[in-house]
Amino acid sequence: MPRPNVLFFFTDDQRYDTLASLGNPDVLTPNMDRLVARGTAFTHAHIPGGTSGAICMPSRAMLHTGRSLFHLEGAGQRIPGEHAMLGEHLRANGYQTFGSGKWHNGRDSFARSFSAGAEIFFGGMTDHWNVPAYDYDPEGRYDGQCPQVLAPTRSKEETYRDCDHIAAGTHSSELIADAGLQFLAEREGDAPFFMYLSFLAPHDPRTMPRQYRDLYCEAEVPLPANFMAQHPFDAGVHQIRDEVLADYPRKPAQTREHLVDYYAMITHLDAQIGRVLDALEAGGLADNTIVILAGDNGLAVGRHGLFGKQNLYDHSVRVPLVWAGPVVPQNARREAFAYLFDIFPTLCELLDLDVPESVDGQSLVGAMQRDEPVRDELYLAYERLHRGLRDRHHKLIEYQIAGHRHTQLFDLETDPHELRDLSADPDYAAVLADMQMRLAQQRDAWGDCGSEWGEIFWREMEY
């Protein structure tokens, strides 16, 4: 049998707990649930955090290079030629590589990765009905005008309450799914393909066709268990764009409205994923295609008094990660600690390809097929402000904000929502000391102390 195809669905700002089949009855995700049923879900997949407020930029750079957070240049804005990229590596090994949707890591690196593409968006966020998307440029310059005819910008209320569709525009999720469907319908030859569909949803501005919003009722969507009117202390992110999407202090009614918009965008996105999965099955390709569903980072949407992803709580650093296809166990759950940059070496092992020397990640195949552990703990970082360590039982977060230090310690076995800070509890003094020692060890192992971000953070810490 020829090498399997690879279909990669990558979502934007989708939290780890937003699939119905993985424990959230408040969101409708029948097609993502299809993948969970026929595959393996890593329930403790994470990103390490980020080195800029635009968390998705380093997250995507880590995904495509297999490199860890402090082994990226320029927070992932550009990817040096010596860093092998996933699409580039598959392309060199005989794969047709097709990309569509959000890139955010430089036009030259997109050209290295893909031999074809459509509806390519190089920015970070945009109006979902008015995406400045490019056609594929085989020379990789992308220096002309975007070919799409742009629709008038409409407000959220106009989009999902007053119309079913904008005649002159197509929602980003549909635009990207359409590009994928066209590639499947028109591709030629017998070479295996790598199709990367990088959706803009459910990133704000959260708009969607009205029928998806109508599936939800704000009064019936509960607030999260760790909803707070405001964060317990200044975390240094108060005025970041994501955080000013809702008023201070956070209000239950406004938070519910944001949650409903978030879930409705995910359900609309889910429907577009279903269209591509249906085409894969109709074309007789499903049995020999590895399908990956992952998200670039989570999102607070009211948890801990936060709305964004610029923090180290689980709601922002844990992400969905589902594998399906040949040699992937069906309807399986794995609790192994995984990072998104493990996807690159995992695919290499599944496809029987060498792993480039520049890759830092670890293969998840042993965890996937035999439930083997991958790593014992996770190092987490945000910009120059936060550092953290998570193991199976506890999480430590250290903050250095304008010369003021804050420490949090959570017992995740008894407090999975990270509500009770135990850092001052004498019964946890030994745990705290051990976690702080191991945080320093991981800092050195990750090369954080010598990074431009870590140097500022650690200078003021008593480590």
Span 116-137, pLDDT tens digits: 999 999 988 889 998 888 899 8
Any idea what DSSP says for residue 218?
Answer: G
Reported confidence tier of residue 146, pLDDT bands at 50, 70, 90: low
Taking the C-alpha atoms of residue 381 and residue 387, their distance in angstroms, rounded to an integer, is 4
**Kind and range of the H or E element at 311?**
none
Quick one: pLDDT at residue 448? 94
Structural domain span for residue 70 = 5-370
Q: Are residues 358 and 424 in the same domain?
A: no
Q: Are residues 101 and 60 in the same domain?
A: yes
Q: Are residues 90 and 239 in the same domain?
A: yes
Is it the case that residue 61 has pLDDT exceeding 50? yes
Task: With H, G, I as helix, E, B as strand and everything else as coil, classify residue 426.
Answer: helix
Q: Are residues 362 and 390 in the same domain?
A: no
In sequence order, what E strands does 218-328 have?
289-295, 318-319, 321-324
The dihedral through the CA atoms of 247, 125, 193, 81 has a sign that is negative
Q: Are residues 195 and 93 in the same domain?
A: yes
Domain end marker among 370, 396, 424: 370
Q: Are residues 33 and 153 in the same domain?
A: yes
Contacts of 31 (CB under 8 A, 6+ apart): 270, 271, 273, 274, 277
The pLDDT tens digits of the residues spanning 246-290 come to 999 999 999 999 999 999 999 999 999 999 999 999 999 999 999
Taking the C-alpha atoms of residue 165 and residue 185, their distance in angstroms, rounded to an integer, is 25
13 contacts 266 by C-beta, under 8 angstroms: no
The pLDDT tens digits of the residues spanning 164-178 come to 333 347 999 999 999
Quick one: pLDDT at residue 168? 43
Q: What is the CATH number of the domain that holds 258?
A: 3.40.720.10
Taking the C-alpha atoms of residue 339 and residue 379, their distance in angstroms, rounded to an integer, is 10
Kindly report the average pLDDT of the chain as a whole number. Answer: 92
Q: Are residues 272 and 354 in the same domain?
A: yes
Taking the C-alpha atoms of residue 275 and residue 201, their distance in angstroms, rounded to an integer, is 16
Taking the C-alpha atoms of residue 403 and residue 461, their distance in angstroms, rounded to an integer, is 9
* Best CA proximity match to 60, nearest among 5, 106, 112: 106
Is it the case that residue 147 has pLDDT exceeding 70? no
Structural domain count, the chain = 2
| Tokens 């042993």, located at residue | 366
The dihedral through the CA atoms of 373, 339, 197, 187 has a sign that is negative
Q: Are residues 126 and 193 in the same domain?
A: yes
Taking the C-alpha atoms of residue 350 and residue 300, their distance in angstroms, rounded to an integer, is 34
28 contacts 270 by C-beta, under 8 angstroms: yes
Q: Are residues 428 and 283 in the same domain?
A: no
Domain end marker among 318, 343, 370: 370
Q: Are residues 284 and 391 in the same domain?
A: no
Reported confidence tier of residue 400, pLDDT bands at 50, 70, 90: very high
Q: Are residues 219 and 275 in the same domain?
A: yes
The dihedral through the CA atoms of 100, 105, 107, 110 has a sign that is negative
Q: Choose the most confident range, by mean pLDDT, from 29-33, 77-81, 165-169.
A: 29-33
Q: Where are the alpha helices (DSSP H) in 105-215?
A: 107-113, 156-161, 172-186, 210-213
Q: What is the CATH number of the domain that holds 382?
A: 3.30.1120.10
Q: How many CB atoms lie within 10 A of CB 83?
A: 21
State the pTM of this model. 0.95
Reported confidence tier of residue 412, pLDDT bands at 50, 70, 90: very high
Length of the chain as a residue count: 463
Domain end marker among 370, 396, 420: 370
Torsion of CA 441, 446, 447, 453, to 10 degrees: -100
Reported confidence tier of residue 74, pLDDT bands at 50, 70, 90: low
Task: With H, G, I as helix, E, B as strand and everything else as coil, classify residue 449.
Answer: coil
Taking the C-alpha atoms of residue 222 and residue 263, their distance in angstroms, rounded to an integer, is 12
Q: Are residues 396 and 349 in the same domain?
A: no
